[in-house]
Structure 1
């Protein structure tokens, strides 16, 4: 949900501001600009066809994803969603990083934490990463092995701003993290914005367990879910850490990729 600096307001002769299209829904110019940037990032469209019809179509797409009335017009409900912190991976499947439903083919997937946050101890970060992997491995026939030397399948780290993957972080709030689908190079890697205030749930901030469990879902090949109860829902919501677990939607999604661990154990 990157909020870039607003462009200067275009003025008509005589000093009158350019009127907003009906799709702006009576919202302010600032809100309309924010919505356009949000749609561009999370519901991408061809830059050659950036007309009112494209914006209307993308607004409808977003409304459908979040189970809102499908009007093709900006609304206060959309503004509320835009203002929430969230994952940096797009919501639209065909434009996301997961168009071909990639997955790991090895039964043992390695991971490595290559950089840490100043907000939590190295021990606590490692502990929460292990816990997140355990939540996923409980449902599928994959084993996850942490390595300390060499290149792992999934490289996990914290960074600020531009960090070498063409998806720079945007400072506190907005985009919290992103991850890449299984594959070589950046494939599977998960990055977290060090400008956030990360917590283990004992203080105010972004709960790292919630975020890393979500991003590792992407690292395993899952896209976003429109189920607000799912770990793979794109926006961040503070939850009761004691009750935090994968939803049925998350479980069904990951088992479509890798199979059911219980059936696997019977073989």
Structure 2
């Protein structure tokens, strides 16, 4: 049995290099401050995507009005706490803020424990709901995460950050 220590082995160094490359960081293979800061950012919980295209939406969930509850919807949007039955439990504030499934499944889930904002300028401790919605809808229509930090489909985002040029209002 191997004794565990705090030394990097080649497998861990390779994983860190891969992470740094995916997030356009300086590829060092070490947990430098930029890498650690990136790892601590709020993030999307999507693991992979496929391409499909559907156009019907139904909104359900905490403090959200329902539209056409009896109609079949291709995409269902909801706010959930912790383990909500899809195998991807939320971890509370400041971790995974949302995740989505391909349009074949069509669910978009938001972490109800986050502070969400629909304001033009969200506060530094709030997530911009419209930005995250655009990101998650991107997954539903088949987009995977981008390695471009300015992209709305980049896997992490800071609180108070807006990455949208339009409003749903």
CA contact (8 A) 1:188 1:218 kept: no
TM-superposition CA deviations, 1:205-252 (whole Å, max 9, x none): 1111111111111111111011111110111133357xx238xxxxxx
Unmatched runs of 5 consecutive residues or more in structure 1: 1-11, 13-17, 24-51, 90-95, 127-145, 247-267
Q: How many residues align?
A: 160
> Residues 81 and 157 (structure 1 numbering): CA distance in 2 closer, same or farther, change over 3 Å?
same
CA contact (8 A) 1:188 1:220 kept: no
> Greater relative contact order (Cα 8 A, min sep 6): structure 1 or 2?
2
1:82 CA drift (Å): 1.3
| 1:47-196 pair list within 5 angstroms | 52-89=9-46, 96-98=47-49, 101-104=50-53, 109-117=55-63, 122=64, 147-183=68-104, 187-196=105-114
TM-superposition CA deviations, 1:163-209 (whole Å, max 9, x none): 110000011111101001221xxx22100000111111265311111
> Residues 217 and 79 (structure 1 numbering): CA distance in 2 closer, same or farther, change over 3 Å?
same
CA contact (8 A) 2:147 2:154 kept: yes
Unmatched runs of 5 consecutive residues or more in structure 2: none
TM-align CA RMSD: 2.3
Structure in which a larger fraction of residues adopt helix: 1
CA contact (8 A) 2:128 2:162 kept: no
1:245 aligns with 2:165: yes
CA contact (8 A) 1:86 1:175 kept: yes
Give TM-score scaled by structure 2 length: 0.83
